RNA sequence: GGGCGCGUAGCUCAGUGGGAGAGCGCUCGCUUCACACGCGAGAGGUCGCAGGUUCGAAACCCGCCGCGCCCA
C-alpha cells in the first residue's frame, strides 16, 4: 500500500501475505522457555488430525485462541501457543488404505511394517497442510516447535503412562462389550458412532414356551438372529402380568437352552409384551443386565460379521442378515412367530466405514476411570478448572460421575502399539520389548484419545522435567467445541492431575458450533460446509449460502481479518448459524480503519508525535471514549465474550471515531485553520488511532499491523507492542455528557431537515435556545448544517417559522427560502402529539401509587425528571 | 425416557425487572475534498402461545406449541 493517496480501499489479498511473512520472520511466535507458567501465557491447540483440512470450527477456534494469545503477548507475557497434529489412527489409516486400493494392493498384502512405513510417507507428503491454513488466518502458533503424537518423545510419554497405569491396576484386559465396526474390523470409540434416526426395521414377536409346558412368553426383537445368544428373558419387577413367572424358565426355540425369567428395572412394561429377550453378547443394555444378574455371555456373531460356531451348525458361517432370514424361516416352521410390524428406531452406525455397528464382546484393553475421575470432578467443582460457559460444567461433572471403563485398544496398525508382549501364558508389560525369545507384541494400538489426553504436558517434554514444562504448564486456556468435552477435555484433566501433578489448564472455553444458514451442521457430504479459506481468498459459495441479496457463485476475497471478525461476531454461548453479513461487517471495518488512517496520515503529516493533547470538548470526549473501549475490549476478551469484543470495536471505530469525531474535527484540519490547534489535534488523532489499532489488533491483526506501519512515529511491529491500558485521568464524564447531548441534537436536526425537505446543501438560519451547548453549539451547527445566530433582543421572533425540540431546549428556525413552512408545521404537530402521549404516559406512571411507593427512589426520580423534560420541550415547541 | 438450550425487525443475532436494539436487507436523499466496501434520514416488531408473580415482564415462575443438542 505504497500510494496511500490513490488507494481508497484496503486490499487484504495484497497486505495479508506480506504481513504474515514479516511476523513469521521475526520469530516472536516462539517464546523462550523461561520463567514460570504463572507469569507466562500458554494455550495448547486442539491438535488437528494430520489428515485434516481446515473447516469452520477450526477457523473459529483458531481466531479465538489467537485473540487470546495476542492480547497476552501484548501484555508482555511470554505467550506460547503449543502447536501440533494428531496421528488420528483410524482417519489416517483409512486414507492410506484407500491409496493402496487405488494402487491395486492392500494393507494385508504389504504387511504391517510396510504399511506403517507407507503411512509415514503419506504424512510427510500430505500431513499438516492444515497448519499452513492456520497461518493464513494469522494464527500465531509456535510454528518453530511443532509436535506430533507419534514423535519419539511423545511415544515415550504415552508408553510410560500405559505402563504406570497398568502397574497401578487401572489398565487391564477384559472381555467387554464394544462398538464393533465390521467394516474396519475394529472396536471404535463412542465418538465415532453416529446414531441414525428413522431406520425402519421389522419388529418380530416370538413365543418362548415356558419350561413348565404351561404357556409361553412373547418377546419382541428387530434382530431375531441374536436370539441364538439369548441367556435370559427379563420383565419389569412391578409388572403384575409376570409376577408369578419370575424365577421360572423358558425354553429358547431352535436352540433348546433353558433361560431364566428375571426381573430388572431396565425393562419397559409398556413396550411390546413387557418381556425382553436378553442377549448379553450382542446388545449393550442386555450386557449390563447380564452382568447385574450374572448371566452367561454368548457370542454368535464374530468379528468378521459372520455367525460363529456358537450359533450352531445350521447358522455358523452365514452373515448376520442371512442368519436372520433363516432364523425367521425356522421359527415360522415352529409357528413361534406371533407377529411382525414395521418399527422405526435409532440405530448406531460407524462414521468411519458407514456400516451398522455390531455390538459384541471381545477381548480388549480397558482403563478403569472412577479413581481418575474423582480429582477431575473436584478440580471443576472447586473452580481450579473453570469451564465457560458455566452451564457446561454440569455436563462435565455428570459425565464423570457416571463414567465407565474406557476401551483403549483399537484393532489398527497406525498408532501407539500396545506395549504388552505375550509368550505362551506369560504377559510382559513395559516400554520396551522383553529380553528373550518368542515374545510377541500385542497387535492392537491405543485409542487416539489416549495419547491426546496427554497433550498439554507431553508436548512440553514430559516425563522429562523440561524448561518448557516449567514455563508453560499448566496452560492458561483450552478452547474447544462442545463435542469433545468428554472425550478429550475431561481426559486431559484426569491425566494432567495424575501424571503432571497439576491441572492442565485454568480455563476451558467451549465455543459455538457454526451451522449452515439452514440450521444443519456444516458438512462436506451434505454440501453445507464452506472452506474458511474460500472466504479469505475467494472461492465457491454453496447454494445454501445464497440469499435474496447473494446469488450462489463465488465469495469475494474478504480477507482474514474480515473472517476473523465475522466468526467472533457470530460466536455465542450456543450454536449459531453462519452469517456472511458478519464477515462483510468485518471487511467494512477493516476498510473503514484503513481510510480513517489514510485521512489522518495525509492530513497530519510525518512530524507529529502521538500524544493526548485535548483542546476541545470533542477531544476530551474521544479520549474518554477511548479509555472505555480499551477497558471493555480487554475485559470482553478475557471474559471469553468475543462477539461483544468484536462488535464493540466496530461501534467505537465506525460510530464514535469515524462518524462523529473525525467529522467534527475536519474543519480544524483545514489549510487555513489555526496551526497550533492543528498540531495538538494531530497529536491527539495519532494517539487515538495508535491505541485503537493496538486495542483492535487481537481481533483484526493484519489490517491493524499494516496501518501501524503507516503511522508516523511507530517503530517495531504492533504484534509485539504493548497493549495500552485505560487511563482514568483521561476519562471525562462531563465531556461525554456534553457530546452525548450534541449528538442527539444533531440527529434531531437532521431528521427534521429530511422530513421538511430542506435542500441537502442549504444552511438553515436558526436560534439555538437550549442549555448545555456552551462548548458544542458550533459543532452541532456544522454537522447539522444550521447557522445559529446570536439571539438578539429584538426582531428575532419575527422571522421564526419553526421550532425543533433538542435536548435541553429547542432550535428556532428562522425564515429562509429553503424551509417549507407547511412541512415544518406538520413535523411540529407530529412532535407535539408524540410529546403529549409520552407526557400522559409519564404522568400516569407517577400517579400510580404503587409505583411511587414501591419502585426504587432513583427510578421514580428519573421518571419525574423525564416528565419535566418532556413538558418543557412541549412548551418550547 | 432423562437433561440442557433456543423461539425478539424480512435474515443472522444482542438485550435478562424500569420507555424494544445492532449488522445486513428494504425505502428516500446525497459525486459533503478519508472511505459509494461511503454519508445522512426513514420504514419495519401484539419480543412463540396461554396463565401467574410484580407498582412494573421481552426478561422471573408454571403450562403448552415449535426447533435444536446431549445422555439413555
Question: Is the confidence at residue A489, as pLDDT, over 60?
Answer: yes
A345 CA – B63 C1', rounded, Å: 29
Query: Residue A463, preceding bond cis, omega within 30 degrees?
Result: yes
A392 CA – B63 C1', rounded, Å: 27
Residue A823's pLDDT is what? 86
A577 CA – B6 C1', rounded, Å: 13
A518 CA – B30 C1', rounded, Å: 38
C-alpha span between A416 and A423 (Å, rounded): 20
Shortest CA to C1' contact from A574: nucleotide: B5
Which residue, counting CA atoms, is nearest to the C1' of nucleotide B40? A750
Given a contact cutoff of 8 angstroms between Cβ atoms, the answer to whether A255 and A327 are in contact is no
pLDDT tens digits, one per residue of A621-672? 999 999 999 999 999 999 999 999 999 999 999 999 999 999 999 999 988 8
Question: Is the confidence at residue A548, as pLDDT, over 70?
Answer: no
Residue A467's pLDDT is what? 92
Shortest CA to C1' contact from A285: nucleotide: B72
Question: Is the confidence at residue A461, as pLDDT, over 70?
Answer: yes
Given a contact cutoff of 8 angstroms between Cβ atoms, the answer to whether A773 and A744 are in contact is no
A236 CA – B50 C1', rounded, Å: 39
Give the dihedral of Cα atoms A403, A404, A408, A412; nearest 10 deg: -110
**Helix A89-102 × helix A107-126 angle, to 10°:** 110
Shortest CA to C1' contact from A785: nucleotide: B32
Helices in A256-365 by DSSP H: which ranges? Answer: 284-293, 320-334
Shortest CA to C1' contact from A599: nucleotide: B34
Burial class (CB in 10 A: 0-12, 13-18, 19+), A578: buried
A778 CA – B19 C1', rounded, Å: 31
Residue A550's pLDDT is what? 66
Q: Which residues contact A869 (CB under 8 A, 6 or more apart)?
A: A807
Which residue, counting CA atoms, is nearest to the C1' of nucleotide B18? A859
Query: Quick check: helix, strand or coil at residue A302?
Result: coil
Q: Which residues contact A367 (CB under 8 A, 6 or more apart)?
A: A165, A170, A171, A405, A406, A408, A450
Shortest CA to C1' contact from A840: nucleotide: B19
C-alpha span between A150 and A148 (Å, rounded): 5
Strand B positions with any atom < 7 Å from protein CB?
3-6, 11-14, 18-19, 22-26, 28-32, 34-42, 54-56, 67-72
A614 CA – B41 C1', rounded, Å: 32
Which residue, counting CA atoms, is nearest to the C1' of nucleotide B32? A761
A669 CA – B39 C1', rounded, Å: 19
Contacts 24+ apart (CB under 8 A), A640-644: A640/A64, A640/A388, A640/A507, A640/A509, A642/A64, A642/A67, A642/A568, A642/A571, A643/A568, A643/A569, A643/A570, A643/A571, A643/A572
Shortest CA to C1' contact from A753: nucleotide: B41
pLDDT tens digits, one per residue of A844-874? 888 888 888 888 888 888 888 888 888 888 8
Bridge partners, residue A210, by sequence: A250
C-alpha span between A831 and A803 (Å, rounded): 10
pLDDT tens digits, one per residue of A787-833? 998 876 555 555 788 888 888 888 989 888 888 888 888 888 888 88
Shortest CA to C1' contact from A853: nucleotide: B55
**Beta strand A553-555 with A576-577: parallel, antiparallel or unpaired?**
unpaired
pLDDT tens digits, one per residue of A134-174? 999 999 999 999 999 999 999 999 999 999 999 999 999 98
C-alpha span between A466 and A451 (Å, rounded): 19
> Which DSSP string do the residues of A567-586 spell out, in sequence order?
HHHH--SS-EE--HHHHHHH
- Which value does ipTM take for this structure? 0.95
**Beta strand A409-410 with A406-407: parallel, antiparallel or unpaired?**
unpaired
**pTM of the model as a whole:** 0.88
A633 CA – B14 C1', rounded, Å: 16
Question: Is the confidence at residue A252, as pLDDT, over 80?
Answer: yes
Which residue, counting CA atoms, is nearest to the C1' of nucleotide B28? A754
| A367 to A160, A176, A280, A430: CA distances (angstroms) | 15, 12, 21, 16
A822 φ, ψ to 5°?
Answer: -65, -45
Shortest CA to C1' contact from A549: nucleotide: B25
A618 CA – B71 C1', rounded, Å: 57
Amino acid at each position: 500500500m505504497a500510494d496511500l493517496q490513490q488507494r481508497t480501499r484496503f486490499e487484504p489479498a495484497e497486505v495479508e501475505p506480506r504481513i504474515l511473512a514479516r511476523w513469521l520472520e521475526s520469530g516472536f511466535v516462539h517464546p523462550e522457555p523461561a520463567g514460570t507458567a504463572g507469569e507466562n501465557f500458554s494455550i495448547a491447540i486442539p491438535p488437528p488430525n494430520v489428515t485434516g483440512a481446515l473447516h469452520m470450527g477450526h477457523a473459529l477456534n483458531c481466531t479465538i485462541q489467537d485473540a487470546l494469545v495476542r492480547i497476552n503477548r501484548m501484555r508482555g507475557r511470554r505467550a506460547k501457543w503449543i502447536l501440533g497434529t494428531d496421528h488420528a489412527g483410524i482417519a489416517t489409516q483409512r486414507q492410506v488404505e484407500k491409496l493402496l486400493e487405488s494402487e491395486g494392493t492392500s494393507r494385508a498384502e504389504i504387511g504391517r511394517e510396510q504399511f506403517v512405513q507407507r503411512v509415514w510417507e503419506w504424512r510427510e507428503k500430505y500431513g499438516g497442510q492444515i497448519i499452513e491454513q492456520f497461518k493464513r488466518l494469522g494464527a500465531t502458533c509456535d510454528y518453530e516447535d511443532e509436535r506430533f503424537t507419534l514423535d519419539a518423545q511423545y511415544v515415550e510419554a504415552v508408553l510410560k503412562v500405559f505402563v504406570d497405569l497398568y502397574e497401578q491396576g487401572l489398565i487391564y484386559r477384559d472381555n467387554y462389550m464394544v462398538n464393533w465396526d465390521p467394516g474396519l474390523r475394529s472396536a471404535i470409540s463412542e465418538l465415532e458412532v453416529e446414531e441414525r434416526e428413522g431406520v425402519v426395521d421389522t419388529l418380530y414377536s416370538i413365543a418362548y414356551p415356558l419350561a413348565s409346558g404351561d404357556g409361553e412368553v412373547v418377546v419382541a426383537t428387530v434382530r431375531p438372529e441374536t436370539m441364538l445368544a439369548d441367556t435370559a428373558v427379563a420383565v419389569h419387577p412391578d409388572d403384575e402380568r409376570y409376577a408369578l413367572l419370575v424365577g421360572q424358565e423358558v425354553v429358547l426355540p431352535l436352540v433348546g437352552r433353558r433361560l431364566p425369567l428375571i426381573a430388572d428395572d431396565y425393562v419397559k412394561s409398556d413396550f411390546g409384551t413387557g418381556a425382553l429377550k436378553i442377549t448379553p453378547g450382542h446388545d449393550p443394555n442386555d450386557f449390563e443386565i447380564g452382568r447385574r444378574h450374572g448371566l452367561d455371555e454368548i457370542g454368535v456373531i464374530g468379528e468378521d460379521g459372520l455367525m460363529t460356531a456358537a450359533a450352531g451348525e445350521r447358522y455358523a458361517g452365514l452373515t448376520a442378515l442371512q442368519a436372520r432370514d433363516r432364523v425367521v424361516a425356522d421359527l415360522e416352521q415352529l409357528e413361534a412367530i406371533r407377529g411382525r410390524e414395521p418399527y422405526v428406531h435409532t440405530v448406531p452406525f460407524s462414521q468411519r466405514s458407514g456400516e451398522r455397528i455390531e455390538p459384541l464382546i471381545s477381548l480388549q484393553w480397558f482403563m478403569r476411570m472412577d479413581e481418575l475421575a474423582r480429582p477431575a470432578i473436584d478440580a471443576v467443582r472447586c473452580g481450579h478448572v473453570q469451564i465457560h460457559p458455566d452451564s457446561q460444567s454440569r455436563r462435565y461433572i455428570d459425565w464423570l460421575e457416571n463414567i465407565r471403563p474406557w476401551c483403549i485398544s483399537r484393532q489398527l496398525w497406525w498408532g501407539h502399539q500396545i506395549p504388552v508382549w505375550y509368550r505362551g501364558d506369560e504377559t510382559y508389560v513395559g516400554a520396551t520389548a522383553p529380553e528373550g525369545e518368542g515374545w510377541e507384541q500385542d497387535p492392537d494400538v491405543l485409542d487416539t484419545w489416549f495419547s491426546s489426553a496427554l497433550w498439554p504436558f507431553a508436548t512440553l517434554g514430559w516425563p522429562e522435567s523440561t524448561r518448557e514444562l516449567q514455563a508453560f504448564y499448566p496452560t492458561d486456556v483450552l478452547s474447544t467445541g462442545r463435542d469433545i468435552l468428554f472425550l478429550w477435555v475431561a481426559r486431559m484433566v484426569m491425566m494432567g492431575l495424575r501424571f503432571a501433578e497439576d491441572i492442565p489448564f485454568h480455563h476451558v472455553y467451549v465455543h459455538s458450533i457454526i451451522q449452515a444458514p439452514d440450521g444443519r451442521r456444516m458438512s462436506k457430504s451434505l454440501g453445507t460446509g464452506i472452506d474458511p479459506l474460500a472466504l479469505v481468498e475467494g472461492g465457491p459459495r454453496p447454494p445454501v449460502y445464497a440469499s435474496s441479496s447473494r446469488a450462489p457463485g463465488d465469495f469475494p476475497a474478504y480477507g482474514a481479518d474480515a473472517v476473523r471478525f465475522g466468526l467472533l461476531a457470530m460466536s455465542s454461548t450456543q450454536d449459531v448459524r453462519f452469517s456472511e453479513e458478519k464477515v462483510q461487517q468485518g471487511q467494512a471495518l477493516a476498510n473503514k480503519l484503513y481510510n480513517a488512517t489514510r485521512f489522518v496520515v495525509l492530513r497530519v503529516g510525518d512530524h507529529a508525535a502521538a500524544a493526548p493533547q485535548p483542546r476541545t470538548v470533542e477531544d476530551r470526549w474521544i479520549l474518554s471514549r477511548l479509555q472505555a473501549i480499551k477497558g471493555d475490549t480487554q475485559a470482553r476478551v478475557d471474559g471469553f465474550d468475543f462477539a461483544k469484543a468484536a462488535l464493540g470495536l466496530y461501534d467505537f471505530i465506525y460510530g464514535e471515531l469515524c462518524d462523529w469525531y473525525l467529522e467534527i474535527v475536519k474543519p480544524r484540519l483545514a489549510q487555513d485553520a489555526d496551526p497550533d490547534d492543528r498540531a495538538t489535534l494531530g497529536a491527539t488523532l495519532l494517539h487515538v488511532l495508535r491505541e485503537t489499532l493496538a486495542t483492535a489488533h487481537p481481533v483484526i491483526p493484519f489490517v491493524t499491523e499494516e496501518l501501524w506501519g503507516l503511522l508516523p512515529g511507530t517503530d517495531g511491529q504492533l504484534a509485539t507492542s504493548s497493549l495500552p491500558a485505560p487511563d482514568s485521568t483521561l476519562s471525562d464524564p462531563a465531556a461525554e455528557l456534553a457530546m452525548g447531548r450534541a449528538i442527539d441534537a444533531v440527529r434531531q436536526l437532521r431528521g427534521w431537515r429530511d422530513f421538511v425537505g430542506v435542500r441537502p446543501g442549504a444552511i438553515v438560519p436558526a436560534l439555538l435556545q437550549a442549555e448545555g451547548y456552551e462548548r458544542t453549539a458550533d459543532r452541532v451547527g456544522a454537522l447539522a448544517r444550521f447557522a445559529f445566530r446570536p439571539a438578539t433582543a429584538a426582531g428575532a421572533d419575527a422571522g421564526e417559522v419553526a421550532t425543533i425540540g433538542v435536548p435541553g431546549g429547542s432550535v428556532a428556525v428562522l425564515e429562509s427560502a429553503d424551509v417549507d413552512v407547511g412541512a415544518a408545521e406538520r413535523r411540529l404537530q407530529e412532535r407535539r402529539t408524540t410529546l403529549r402521549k409520552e407526557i400522559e404516559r409519564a404522568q400516569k406512571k407517577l400517579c400510580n401509587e404503587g409505583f411511587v411507593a414501591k419502585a426504587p427512589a432513583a427510578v421514580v426520580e428519573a421518571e419525574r425528571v423525564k416528565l419535566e423534560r418532556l413538558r418543557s420541550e412541549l412548551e418550547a415547541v
